[in-house]
């Protein structure tokens, strides 16, 4: 049971890269099949949490949509390899998990609708203000992914500390 949970936690950054690859793929599919309901559903499902990381990757000169899909898919497969042999490459796993954490956090922060003022102009609300964080409707999936990737980062920290301690 413990090894299964640890395997899922180690695979969490892989899910993040795979979702980014799915978003890049759905962008290409949307360009070719704009009337497909399935392609629109796929695009709109993954869009809230992976929009910013994928667009940041696509803004790099020389990286087009095809290169981005291949790069993200290769990174996802690298994560499977790193999760299968976690003690072999602790530093690479550390960097891999933290890049996924930054991408996931960036996407979730962008997906959240932060309201920085009152939503209705009534005097009690003006005095008190409404500074609530309103997440999107499917935010539970993205928060769970963020927590799993955070746990993978914590696991990579523990592996690095363990390797330093036993040297």
Position 114 scores a pLDDT of 43
Total domain count, the chain? 1
Tell me, what's the pLDDT at 116? 43
Q: Which domain holds residue 146?
A: 2-165
pLDDT tens by residue, 119-128: 444 444 444 5
The secondary structure of residue 63, as a DSSP letter, is: -
For residues 41 and 47, which has the higher predicted lDDT (pLDDT)? Answer: 41
Distance CA(74)–CA(80), nearest Å, equals 10
Give the model's confidence band at 110: pLDDT under 50 very low, under 70 low, under 90 confident, else very high: low
Q: What is the pLDDT confidence band of residue 29, given thresholds at 50, 70 and 90?
A: very high
Q: What mean pLDDT is predicted for residues 66-92? A: 90
Q: How far is CA 132 from CA 19, 115, 119, 143, 153, in A?
A: 28, 6, 10, 17, 28
Residue 17 pLDDT > 50, yes or no? yes
**Rounded to two decimals, what is the model's pTM?**
0.79
Give the pLDDT confidence score for residue 131 in this predicted structure. 45
65-84 and 90-111 helices cross at what angle (nearest 10)? 130
């Amino acid at each position: 049971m413990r090894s299964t949970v640890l395997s899922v936690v180690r695979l969490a950054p892989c899910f993040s890269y795979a979702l980014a690859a799915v978003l890049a793929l759905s962008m290409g599919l949307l360009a070719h099949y704009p009337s497909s309901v399935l392609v629109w559903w796929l695009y709109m499902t993954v869009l809230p949490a992976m929009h910013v990381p994928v667009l940041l990757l696509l803004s790099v000169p020389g990286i087009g949509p095809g290169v981005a899909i291949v790069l993200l898919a290769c990174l996802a497969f690298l994560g499977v390899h790193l999760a299968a042999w976690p003690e072999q490459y602790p530093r690479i796993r550390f960097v891999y998990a933290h890049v996924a954490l930054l991408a996931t956090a960036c996407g979730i922060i962008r997906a959240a609708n932060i309201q920085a003022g009152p939503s209705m102009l009534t005097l009690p609300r003006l005095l008190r203000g409404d500074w609530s964080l309103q997440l999107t409707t499917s935010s539970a999936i993205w928060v769970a992914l963020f927590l799993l990737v955070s746990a993978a980062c914590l696991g990579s920290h523990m592996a690095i500390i363990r390797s330093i301690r036993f040297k």
